[in-house]
Amino acid sequence: MQSHDLDLLAAGAPGVSIASLGIGVISIAKSAFAGRFKAAVDAFISGAPSP
Phi, psi of 50 (to 5 degrees): -85, 145
Give the model's pLDDT for residue 13: 86
Give the model's pLDDT for residue 25: 95
How do residues 1-51 score in pLDDT, each as one tens digit? 566 666 777 778 888 999 999 999 999 999 999 999 999 999 888 876 655
What torsion do the CA atoms of 23, 29, 34, 39 make, to the nearest 10 degrees?
160
Whether pTM > 0.85 for this model: the answer is no
